[in-house]
Structure 1
Amino acid sequence: MADEAPPQQIKPLTFKLRKPVEAHGEKISEITFREPTGADIEAAGLPVNIDFAFDPPRIEFDARKMSAMMSVLAAVPPSTIRALAPKDWSTCAWGLASFFIPDLV
């Protein structure tokens, strides 16, 4: 066990926004998310649902939980996430989805 490499640090994910939004009294044109933790899932809920009854499995977002998670991970108020353009919200959600999909291999 002493020879194991330390866990790889995940870089924050930054997305350019098609439409700027306000966060903490300032207009922002990009949003950065840190890697989630188990505590974040406990607080916001699991924002991605996977239905293995389909082939390939169906992936769906719980919009309320994903919005809450985005707010926590970006350290912005919920109003900032609610103000995102639909395409920006979707781009961010899909970018974050891989954190919540299990490695099954």
Structure 2
Amino acid sequence: MSEAKPKLEAVADEAPPQIKPLTFKLRKPVDAHGEKISEITFREPTGADIEAAGLPVNIDFAFDPPRIEFDARKMSAMMSMLAAVPPSTIRALAPKDWSTCAWGLASFFIPDLV
């Protein structure tokens, strides 16, 4: 007597959904490539970006709720790569603009735990 083999269903090769670039309007314009910019656009990061810049978000699960902190140097390097602007552009951001961009990018570096 032969055992029935489970039927395998074909799964369509679907590309993962593309995340739209994130664009932030700046409170204070900055120079990028010799031009004043009033908004900055970031592409989605990749594993290669994390290897190059380091993981810019630290999560401490010892706290309830977990504490999220930025490594400012790593986040600035990541911002520069993702926006394709020189590091000097990121360093020139107003603190509120830097923080807004960093929090906007943070979700890329926080694991899905559910």
Fold shared per TM-score above 0.5: yes
Q: 1:76 to 1:2 in 2, by over 3 A?
A: same
Equivalent-residue separation in structure 2 for 1:43 and 1:104 (angstroms): 25
1:83 is matched with: 92
Tell me whether 1:67 sits opposite 2:76 in the alignment.
yes
Q: 1:3 to 1:40 in 2, by over 3 A?
A: closer
Q: Deviation above 4 Å: which 4+ runs of structure 1? A: none
Instruction: Give per-residue Cα distances to partners, 1:53-85, cap 9 Å, x unaligned.
Output: 000000000000000000000000000000000
Equivalent-residue separation in structure 2 for 1:16 and 1:34 (angstroms): 15
1:15 is matched with: 24
Equivalent-residue separation in structure 2 for 1:6 and 1:62 (angstroms): 29
Which ranges in structure 1 are unaligned for 5 or more consecutive residues? none
Shift of 1:97: 0.1
Which ranges in structure 2 are unaligned for 5 or more consecutive residues? 1-10
Q: What is the RMSD of the two structures over their aligned residues, measured on CA atoms? A: 1.2
Shift of 1:103: 0.2
Q: Which has the larger radius of gyration?
A: 2
2:61 is matched with: 52
Q: 1:5 to 1:26 in 2, by over 3 A?
A: closer
Aligned pairs, number? 104
Secondary structure, aligned partner of 1:98: helix
Q: 1:27 to 1:52 in 2, by over 3 A?
A: same
